[in-house]
Structure 1
C-alpha cells in the first residue's frame, strides 16, 4: 500500500522539528553548563553575607574566601555599621563583581552604673534618677525598674535598674532607695587618733583608731587622702579624713602624720639577738659549736633581698632580725649581733669596693686564731663560708672573680700569720 500525500507531509515536518531541536538542546546545555560554572565560581570566591558587630570595621576583603586576593566596594555601595540591619553591598575583585549582604548586629548590652538615693514619699524617684552613667553604641537606651516597687514602708528598699538598647540587650544593676520621713541635715562626726607618728621607711594604717558616728547611718566608711604623705622622708604631713552619710552630709577633719628617723640601739638589737640565741645555743657548747649554730641559723632564716642598710650595722641587724631578709650587709650585721651576744670575738671585713661591687662579712676567733665567717648565700652553692682560713678563702676568691679581695692594710687580722 503506498503512502498518502498527508503522511508524507507529516514525516517531513517531524524531520524538520527534529533538526531544529538538536541545536536548541545543545544551546540550552551550554547555557546550563556556563551558568553552573559561574555559580560555582561565585560561591568559591566570596561569602554571600558577612556579619559585623555594631560600630565595628568591615572591608571588601572580608567577603573574599581567598585572603591573598584584593577587593573593593563598588562605587554605589554605602557602608555604615552605626545602625543594626541588613545592607546590600557590591564587591569588585579582579574582573568579577559580586552582590553580597552585610549584616550589622548589636549583641553588646549597655554599660550601666547606678547610685543610691534618699527620698521622702513626697518625691518618689524615677528609674532614671538612680542612673549615674549609661552608655551604648546604638545611642538608644531605655531605663526602667526591673520589678514593681512598694513605697509603703520607710527604710532601705532594694531597687533593680534595667538599661535596654534597641536590639533588646539588657544590663541590670542593683541599688538602694533610702525612704525617709524627713531629710537628715546633720553630718557624721569623725573622731579618734587623727595624728600619728611613724618611722621613716615603714607603713602606717591611717584608719586605725579613727571612728565615724552618725545620727542615722551606721555603716559610714571614712575616706583618707594621704597623697601628700611621704613615708620615706622625715617631716610632718597633712592627711585629710572625710565621711559622708546617705544624705550627702559630710564631715572633714585633718590630721598630722609625723615621719621620724628611727634610731637603733644596741639594747634593741641585742634583745632580738638573745631571742634567737636562746633557741639555738646552750652554755655547755664550745665557741666553735656556738659559731656553727649561728652560721646555720642565719643561712636558714634570713632571705636574700636588696637593701639600703649599709653604713649602720645596728639598723642592718635590726632589719635583718625583725624582717628576716636583706643583702650581704644585713647578713653580716645579724651575724655580728649574734656572735657578740654569744661571747665570740668577731670583727668586720669588707671587699675592696668598686662601682658595682660591695660585700661584707665577719671574722671570728674561737681560740684558734682568726677565721673568715661569711653567712651570705652565693649562687655557687658549693661555697661554705664557715670557719675558713685566709688561704682557703683567698683560693676561692681568686677562682671566683676576686669575690673576697680585701685591703690587707686596713684589715690586718691575718698579716701576722695567726692562722692555725
Structure 2
C-alpha cells in the first residue's frame, strides 16, 4: 500500500512540473513573438507639407521612437503610399506614409481680346497659377470662336491630383473687315527698252497685320513696245480683306535721234554759255533760257515730231520750227542746266501742242516758249505757270492748254 502511495505522489509531482514547464515555455513563446500595438498602420500628410514627425505615428505618448527608413529620400510633393520602418522601444514596425493632395490650385486670370482667327488657348488667360503637383489650364466650355464681341468663359485650373479651381474671365473677339491701305502707287513714264521698279516707294499698311506683301500684276506691260499699259497692285491681310490699286505705265517710243544726243547737248551748252551764269538763281536761269529761245527762234509751223533730239539740233542750227521745235530746244537747255522736266501734250484740239513742266526747288511749274497768235493772247507768257493758271487761260482761249494731268506732278 505504501508503495502505491509513493508512486501516486511521484506522478503528481511530475505532472505539476510538466505543467509548469509548458506554462513557462508558452509564456516565453508569447513574449518572443509579442509586439506592442504602439504604431499606427498609416499616417497621411498633405502634399508639399514637411515630413511627418516620428511621434505622429505613435498611438501612445512616452514611447521612445525613431525612423529606420531614410525619410529624407521621400519627396513629399509627390502623392502616393510610401512604406516606412519605425523603431519604437525595442520593437520594429512596418507602417505606411500616405501623401495626399486635397488642396486645389491657386491662380489668377485676365480678360483677353483677340482677332477672329487668332490662336488662343486657356493658358493665354493665365496670369498666375501654382500648386505643388503642377497645374494645367483648360476651358470649362469651349468658347464660340465665331462670335463677335464679348463672352464669358470659365478657366479650369487642375492639379496633378485632379483638384480643380474654376476662374471666370471675359473673351472679346474682334472681326477684321478693314482692307489694307496701299500708298505710293503712281503712274510712270519710261522709254522703250528701259527697266522699271514697280515697288519703289510703294508701301502697304493694315490695322491688324504687319509686313504684308504687295503683289504686282504687270503681265499686260510690254516694256519693249510703246504704248499705255495698266499695272495692278494688290495686298491681302490674314482676314482675307483685299486692296487693289492700279497705275498707268506709259512706254514712250525711243527717240530716233538718240545717236545724236551728244551733238544736241554740245549745242545746248553753247546756248547756255550765252545766256546764264552760276551766280543766277534757278528762276533767273529759267527766265533767261525762256527768252533766249523766244528771241533766237522763228515760228515756221513745221517740225519732225518723231525725234526730240534731232528737232532740238535743227532748232539750234536753223533757228526755226514749230511748237515741237521750241519745246525741244528749251527742254535740251533746261536739262543740260540740271533741271528736271516732264513732257506735256495738249489734249484735244485740231492740232498738237507741246511744252514742259520744270521743277524749281521742290515745286513744279509749266513753261512754254513757243509764240502764240493774237487770237490766243500773244502777250500772256507761259513762264512758270500753275495748273490753275493754265486752266483759266484755256477756258478763255479755246482749250489752248488743256492736258491730261494723270501721272503728272502737281503745281502749287
> What is the TM-score normalised by the length of structure 1?
0.35
Structure number with greater Rg is 2
